[in-house]
Structure 1
Amino acid sequence: MSLATPKPEDPPPKTSPSPTTQHITNPSNSPNKPTILHLGDDIRWNHELYAELRSKFHIERSYSMNREEFKAALEDKRWGDFVGMYRPFWNTGGEMGNWDEELISLLPKSCEIYASAGAGFDWVDTKTMADYGIIYCNSAPACTESVADAALVLILSTFRGIPWSFLAARSCSPSRFADANQNIAAVTHNPNGHLLGIIGLGKIGTRVAEKAALACEMQIAYHDLARLPEREDALRKKGIEALWCETLEELLREADVVVLATPFSGQILLGHREFAQFKNGARLVNVARGKLVDEDALVEALESGRLSAAGLDVHANEPYVDPRLAKRENVMVLSHTAGASVESHVGFERLGMENLLGWFGEGKVLTAVNLEEVRGRRERRERR
């Protein structure tokens, strides 16, 4: 069965269409319209919105192809002078690998925008895209709820020794079961009253703060590139005080558990030096990017007791998981699935189309990553 065709017994969820959505039957796909290159699989849920996109654009499809095939197709202008690209899912349409200058330089000069699924963009050189005048849009808001839920699961796992208990029961060994049953209470804690330190108070970080404070009665602190008074005010209206830590060292020194919810900028954020600054017995949760953490340093911090536990949705060398971490009873490991839910995928699909329609309709996008850089480049070019 095609991925685009839901099973009769498992219908797709009903979603509210975008305010701009129109119901269009038999939309034209005339090649005289501006062209959008659709990367990867068919859409699965937002069919009315896709019909609106097709009514305004000629849709070309690349489906799935490797990097060399994709480069050759661009060099041959197989899809013509397309004005935008659309990738509705994170696990398809990305087989060409990293979007670096080698790939970006082959895009037609007509290309203005790349609307893609997913929150992270460490695989895209957004600065080089801006240099070529291309806006890159991610879809981070669509997975905010799912990632925040997963972060809460990992926070709880680090306080309550969930991996130890789970692995003992999963082993079907009576002795391991008895060991966990009899000894886990002496070394685990309830999270309420503890300080949660969030690195990156964006949409996801803010939602993690809300869930942890309201559901688990945790105190909240955060560190970001700059203080975010508007985020603090939004949390305060919900009865949550978020303490601003001007330096990363201050946050690490005070937090009982640290959650990484910040984009990867190409550099390790937590290494040997930073782990030495953690409060003794603190915990680490990573729902951002695995490459933010030096895994050798993390293993050392766990072995020394500087960290008492960790919860990792992401890993430095995916799809490979460091066995030194995976085998530990005080580390919960997931398969980069924090944002993976039907609701996230519906939102990714919808938000990408809304970005395309908004940009070419009103000159506005909802989730641009590098828009200011693109504008700066255009202004410099106009002044010449």
Structure 2
Amino acid sequence: MGKPVVLHLGDDIKWNHELYKQLQAKFNIVRSYSMPREEFKQALKEKKFGDFVAMYRPFWNTGGEMGNWDDELISLLPKSCKIYASAGAGFDWVDTKRLAQSGIIYCNAAAACTESVADAAIWLILSTFRGFSWSALAARSLDVEKFKDANKNIAAVTHNPNGSSLAIIGLGRIGYRIAQKAHQSFEMKILYNDIRRMPEEVEKSIDATFYEKLDDMLAVADCVLVATPFGGSKVLNAASFKNMKKGSRLVNIARGKLIDEEALVEALESKHLESAGLDVHYDEPKVNPKLAAMTNVELLSHTAGASVESHIGFERLGMENILSYFETGKAVTPVNMHLLNQSKL
């Protein structure tokens, strides 16, 4: 019997070479590189990669040319496949329930980009309170009058975040790290809403208040941060924005489709919301032109988690998930274990 097969999707590894040697020692690694969807489907049908036991995708910007992982692809995977370890925090592009139905554990790599995303979130929070977008755009315009306008008028309408409330939708690993930074550095009051309440010791560590009902939290928050995975539906719509405190702010570092973007535009245009900071967008890579034209909106290009340190971690964590699963029976960062367990009932 030869070594079990791991299918490596996308580019060569770049940093964790010693760990990759460990993977090579235990598995026969085959490569798909960057393969178009139809070619990839045909390769699966022809069993070009053999009966692989795991899939490994170390980078979010390569190895994804086959598009969304839906039933069309998942149904073609060999029954031998037990785990899919991929880079990135979000997993809206992969049907984790369908993977579970095939007995496949999906592992993301949110842990590897937690620090980078949290730092970016703090920048966006600060921008929504301090009007950094207005000031930066005025300076970059090279227009003397715009510079003078920002210089003269920003102080009258912006605030320090210290002591304000930060309401976090989704207090997972990333949401918790943002809460730590906001609470410790800016003495912000932490509120949160999640599908489950955190243990008492977690709440105490950031002095957090749990809100079972999202609308109750939105009504009292100075700044709302979206940090929950995309589950197929919006968490904030027109009614949500109307329920938010007048003059409050919104930050999204999760997924653009979690927010009704047109409703957000209306809330900002009506001055019900003071400002917004968005790393992600509803129709990426297209950015809403109305939002782009607003000086009270800070926009990034879905780069909150983008850093060398994150990429090193993505690469490493994927291998660690596969090694751990086949050594101990448990993955390091499984996403769909609850679905897998349900599928066995």
User: What is the rounded CA distance, in whole Å, between the counterparts of 1:136 and 1:251 in structure 2?
Assistant: 32
Deviations 1:271-303 (A, max 9, x none): 111111000010000000000001100000000
User: What is the rounded CA distance, in whole Å, between the counterparts of 1:255 and 1:374 in structure 2?
Assistant: 36
Deviation of the 1:83 alpha carbon: 0.6
What is the one-letter code of the residue matched to 2:35? M
Q: RMSD in angstroms over aligned alpha carbons?
A: 1.0
What is the one-letter code of the residue matched to 2:319? M
TM-score using structure 1 length: 0.88
Question: Which residue does 1:148 correspond to in 2?
Answer: 118
Alignment pair present for 1:325 and 2:325? no
Q: Which residue of the other structure, out of 65, 77, 100, is the alignment partner of 2:70?
A: 100
What is the one-letter code of the residue matched to 1:143? C
Instruction: Extract structure 1 runs of 4+ deviating beyond 4 A.
Output: none
User: What is the rounded CA distance, in whole Å, between the counterparts of 1:236 and 1:353 in structure 2?
Assistant: 34
Alpha-carbon contact 1:201-1:222 (below 8 Å) kept: yes
User: What is the rounded CA distance, in whole Å, between the counterparts of 1:224 and 1:298 in structure 2?
Assistant: 22
Gaps of 5+ in 1: 1-30
User: What is the rounded CA distance, in whole Å, between the counterparts of 2:247 and 2:49 in structure 1?
Assistant: 56
Q: Which residue of the other structure, out of 170, 173, 192, is the alignment partner of 2:143?
A: 173
Alpha-carbon contact 1:87-1:352 (below 8 Å) kept: yes
Q: Which residue of the other structure, out of 92, 107, 114, is the alignment partner of 2:84?
A: 114
Question: Which residue does 2:204 correspond to in 1?
Answer: 236
Question: Which residue does 1:310 correspond to in 2?
Answer: 276
Aligned pairs (5 A) from 1:168-247: 168-228=138-198, 230=199, 232-237=200-205, 240-247=206-213
User: What is the rounded CA distance, in whole Å, between the counterparts of 1:329 and 1:246 in structure 2?
Assistant: 34
Aligned pairs (5 A) from 1:255-334: 255-334=221-300
- What SS does the aligned partner of 1:276 have? helix
Identity of aligned residues (%): 65
User: What is the rounded CA distance, in whole Å, between the counterparts of 1:56 and 1:275 in structure 2?
Assistant: 52
Deviations 1:238-295 (A, max 9, x none): xx31011111011100100000000000001111111110000100000000000011
Alignment pair present for 1:134 and 2:100? no
Deviation of the 1:233 alpha carbon: 1.4
Gaps of 5+ in 2: none
Alpha-carbon contact 1:129-1:136 (below 8 Å) kept: yes
Deviation of the 1:65 alpha carbon: 1.2
Alpha-carbon contact 1:260-1:285 (below 8 Å) kept: yes
Question: Which residue does 1:340 correspond to in 2?
Answer: 306
Question: Which residue does 2:131 correspond to in 1?
Answer: 161
Deviation of the 1:235 alpha carbon: 4.9
State the number of aligned residues. Answer: 345
Alpha-carbon contact 1:196-1:259 (below 8 Å) kept: yes
Deviation of the 1:377 alpha carbon: 2.5
Question: Which residue does 1:24 correspond to in 2?
Answer: none
- What SS does the aligned partner of 1:153 have? helix
User: What is the rounded CA distance, in whole Å, between the counterparts of 1:250 and 1:271 in structure 2?
Assistant: 15
Alpha-carbon contact 1:210-1:235 (below 8 Å) kept: no
Quick one: higher RCO (CA 8 Å, sep 6+), 1 or 2?
2
Deviation of the 1:223 alpha carbon: 0.6
Alpha-carbon contact 2:114-2:174 (below 8 Å) kept: yes
User: What is the rounded CA distance, in whole Å, between the counterparts of 1:91 and 1:346 in structure 2?
Assistant: 14
User: What is the rounded CA distance, in whole Å, between the counterparts of 2:10 and 2:272 in structure 1?
Assistant: 44
User: What is the rounded CA distance, in whole Å, between the counterparts of 2:292 and 2:79 in structure 1?
Assistant: 46
User: What is the rounded CA distance, in whole Å, between the counterparts of 2:87 and 2:337 in structure 1?
Assistant: 17
Alignment pair present for 1:77 and 2:47? yes
Alpha-carbon contact 1:116-1:138 (below 8 Å) kept: yes
Alpha-carbon contact 2:203-2:209 (below 8 Å) kept: no
TM-score using structure 2 length: 0.98
Deviations 1:69-110 (A, max 9, x none): 111111111101101100001111011110000010011111
What is the one-letter code of the residue matched to 2:109? S
Alpha-carbon contact 1:46-1:350 (below 8 Å) kept: yes
Alpha-carbon contact 1:155-1:285 (below 8 Å) kept: yes
Q: Which residue of the other structure, out of 85, 94, 115, is the alignment partner of 1:124?
A: 94
What is the one-letter code of the residue matched to 1:279? K
- What SS does the aligned partner of 1:264 have? coil
User: What is the rounded CA distance, in whole Å, between the counterparts of 2:239 and 2:109 in structure 1?
Assistant: 33
User: What is the rounded CA distance, in whole Å, between the counterparts of 1:37 and 1:221 in structure 2?
Assistant: 42
